[in-house]
Amino acid sequence: MNRVLSGPLVVIGDALLDIDLDGRAERLTPDAPVPVLDELVEHPRPGGAGLAAAMAARDGHDVVLVTALGDDAAGARLEELLAGVRVHRLSYDGPTPVKQRVRAGGQPLLRLDSGTRAGTIADDVTGLAEVLAGAGAVLVSDYGRGVTAVPSLRALLEELRVPVTWDPHPRGSRPVRGVRLCTPNAAEAASFADALGVSGPSGPSALAAAGRHADALVGAWEAQAVAVTLGAQGALLSYGGGTPVVAPAPAVHCIDPCGAGDRFAVTAAVGLGAGLVTAEAVQEAVCRAAEYVAAGGPASLSAAEGHAVRSRSAEELVGEVSAGGGTVVATGGCFDLLHAGHVATLRAARRLGDCLVVCLNSDESVRRIKGPSRPLVPAADRAKVLEALECVDAVVVFDEDTPVEALKRIRPHVWAKGGDYAGADVPESAVLAEWGGHAVALPYLQGRSTTRLVETAAERAGAADRAVPDRREEVTTTTTKETDR
């Protein structure tokens, strides 16, 4: 979901120029055991705070980047790559840092850094107060090159009334007081805690250590909360004591984690600015970071692309499976109050092919079929529950009374129906025949029914109400007895 801010997202921090040099390595040089790279292709992109700003702009947000760029070719090129981002330059006399990753077949071989000599950033924030006054949220993306150390800038940040998210750096500046959320990774949190002398003894697990470090940093930094990112484990959120909140990450194949921390911080900052509570913003940030690395990390952020990273649609999934000679299976239903019978049917359907797409009735469709009191669970939540099942590969929500139009888009090879259609004609058979698909009936798990669950719940609620005495009558009786005495 794309959150809406009341004003621009202001990203403050050190911007870099990142360049990936991708080549093909098929031989070694005759004079040394090192690979020769042929057919090098250059992929430039913003880095550091620039990457965070570019991500937010691709998400469709109005973005202002406050940074220090050198008056050089790299700075000019970086500003060109920041299309859609308004850049507010601070006065700076140093070079623009450039980081080049040389890769063969997607595997990094070495990194070449230039412009690493940091210049001087003047304590001049002319015009910045007006920029911050209209901000919907602020993200401080510190990469340790001095932007976050400017005294006047820090003073402005302490006075802000909009949520400030601070993504710290080991060589950077201490977050200002009152920050809504700080987002170090596990190694950074441990380093910060050690430097502050508040890390405490080592714990039995990485999760316990992260919780202890986060608790300590909330107090030391005078922040409202600290979220320690834990890679594949998600993130741990601390408010400075008590039980921490752990936001687990979905299981994904990580191709290149570069930029995942920026994706996390951007999502959290926008979520807080849009009114989410901190735990909600952190959970959303974990999910977006997982989507980002699953989509290829920085490879998914080509400068030519103008859209956000997104998951595959059902149609794309079906196309890939079909192109590979696989079998696409689909089934459908309301799936209101998911129960064991649903799960058994879905698992059976998935075993019939190489992917399973669930055609899910929308809320309006359910109401027309089941009556005005249904569904009990809205379509968005029903879809999330289905997608969480290991046997479900995709969910398509349809508004019609039947899934015919959805089937025309998906064109499955197999359409799985419930056991009550055994030996009977399936209504969707005609449309399935258009592309050679066929229907099958799967047995039900006896005694399981959403309708029966609803009826049972209503019956038990009524019985419970009848079993509880009328408290008003009891009070009246007691009052009467006391008056009689």
Is residue 92 domain-shared with residue 120, that is, in the same domain?
A: yes
| CATH code of the domain containing 206 | 3.40.1190.20
Q: Out of 59, 215, 262, 336, which one is annotated catalytic? A: 262
Last residue of a domain, one of 300, 328, 354: 300
The Cα 72–Cα 370 span in angstroms is 67
* Same structural domain, 132 and 182: yes
Residue 252 lies in a domain: yes
In a shared domain, residues 122 and 229: yes
The pLDDT-based confidence of 390 (bands split at 50, 70, 90) is confident
Distances (CA, A) of 99 to 70, 79, 237, 310: 15, 16, 32, 27
State yes or no: pLDDT of 484 exceeds 60: no
Q: Is residue 228 part of a domain?
A: yes
Residue (of 357, 352, 297, 362) closest to 327 by Cα position: 352
> Got the DSSP string for 135-162?
-SEEEEE--SSSGGG-HHHHHHHHT--S
Evaluate if pTM is beyond 0.95.
Answer: no
The rounded distance, in Å, linking the Cα atoms of 316 and 295 is 14
The answer to whether residue 465 is domain-embedded is yes
Alpha helices for 116-259 (secondary structure H): 128-133, 151-158, 186-196, 206-221
Same domain, 410 and 474: no
Does 305 fall in a domain?
no
- Strands 63-67 and 137-141, bridge-based pairing: unpaired
Beta bridge partners of 331: 358, 416
Is the pLDDT at 200 greater than 50, yes or no? yes
Do 427 and 469 share a domain, yes or no?
no
For the chain, the farthest-separated pair of C-alpha atoms sits apart, in whole angstroms, at: 112
Final residue belonging to a domain, choices 252, 278, 300: 300
> Structure tokens of 71?
């008056």
Residues 329 and 239 in one domain: no
Residue 308 within any structural domain of the chain: no
Residues 454 and 435 in one domain: no
Asked, for residue 291, whether it belongs to a domain, the answer is: yes
Span 436-451, average pLDDT: 71
**Structure confidence at residue 476 as a pLDDT band (50, 70, 90):** very low
Least confident of 7-11, 139-143, 225-229, 406-410: 406-410
Catalytic annotation present for 215: no
Q: How far apart are CA 258 and CA 397, in angstroms?
A: 34
Q: How many domains does the structure of the chain reveal?
A: 3
Place of tokens 């040099």: 21
pLDDT at 310: 39
Task: Compare 418 and 25 and report the one with higher pLDDT.
Answer: 25
- Full domain range(s) for residue 456: 450-484
338, 201: one domain: no
- Residue that has been written with the tokens 């984690």 in this structure: 257
Burial code of 17-37, b = ≥16 C-beta within 10 A, e = fewer?
A: bbbbbbbeeeeeeeeeeebeb
Q: How sure is the predictor about 463, in pLDDT bands with cuts at 50, 70 and 90?
A: low
Convert the pLDDT of each residue in 277-322 to its tens digit: 999 999 999 999 998 988 888 777 653 343 333 345 788 889 888 8
Q: Is residue 385 part of a domain?
A: yes
- Cα separations in angstroms, 408 against 322, 360, 362, 428, 478: 15, 15, 17, 10, 69
Most confident of 60-69, 365-374, 460-469: 60-69
| pLDDT (average), residues 187-212 | 79
309 in any annotated domain = no
Q: Are residues 97 and 79 in the same domain?
A: yes
In this prediction, residue 470 carries a pLDDT of 55
- Are residue 117 and residue 207 in the same domain, yes or no? yes
Q: Which of 126-130, 343-347, 454-458 has the lowest mean pLDDT?
A: 454-458
Smallest Cα–Cα separation from 14: which of 84, 127, 95, 132? 95
CA–CA separation, 158 and 222 (whole Å): 11
pLDDT at 478 (0 to 100): 38
Q: Can you tell me the mean pLDDT for 94-102?
A: 93
pLDDT in tens, 44-86: 999 999 999 999 999 999 999 999 999 999 999 999 999 889 9
Same domain, 134 and 219: yes
Task: Indicate whether 136 and 23 sit together in one domain.
Answer: yes
Last residue of a domain, one of 273, 300, 327: 300
Give the domain CATH number at 322. 3.40.50.620
